[in-house]
Chain A
């Protein structure tokens, strides 16, 4: 039996956790997403990983389940004194975030470097 594909790849850059969604995700994979979220939330619980960068460069779109995941993860980062930034967005992905007005909550950056600079700028 094939193991279920991971939805997120996790990387570290100093005090920032970088979560990279690996596949296009509508609400269809919501249960898988919810099953994987605790691991990400736990990773943000570590004292040396304060900030969160969500890098969407590997996918072109997502649905409301990903919006909810972004909200939960950003809230956890905030609880631990960290900041959140999003980057690598396709036009449709950016549109989805703007429709939900998430662009008013967290910066939407072009590149990962810009997102890392944004969370560290304070």
Chain B
């Protein structure tokens, strides 16, 4: 079994992914992107694609079929997913340099199903990924495969009733090969979630449906990695959810916890400022501690 990454290593990878995500956001048409929800999810994706998932990269045949699967239900974080897929080897440097949107590209503001490049669903319509993940988990069980299925939801997305149909199904059917993750960044388009429909009591809700809930500091890469491993390897008869407490827009000062960066356009100046803040040099200057 491969050794786990150190906290420093994970933070370095996360920083690179954060930078690459900002670059993709700037490369989007009119420089417009869901920057906030992309940046909050970085450490979750870092952990999944380094130490948690058997991604199947480079495998074929049976080994490929036995890979773990990831469903990005909050598909507006797709630009962050592309950064993770680039790190994991699913997107080559050339593919990662393609335009965002348009013809002849693999990259879109909301990912399209492309299994070879590690994208399970065509996302964009919230509330469906959890159900799809349940179907995937059932399929793995029927095939006798020990593949795990990971699904990432937004906290605003949990307003959707369809999410809870699937949560009930997963719990009732004891889909223990399924790990759900909530990117609990506390903000949705119209404002803080407690001012829209409430629901910040994620652990209470999920456990009442029959899941085990593990809370984690979602922007602490090692902490969320450890929580995901605990969820993955638990021998509980209940499926698990990791409630990752994150900050929307994390790592970029003008975006962090600002509701208007749910989606917005990066000016040239803001782009340069973001890249500067995320540079290794700036990190060193801050004393080498992301926390």
A and B form one complex: no
* Residues of B near any A CB (own CB < 8 A): none
* Residues of A near any B CB (own CB < 8 A): none
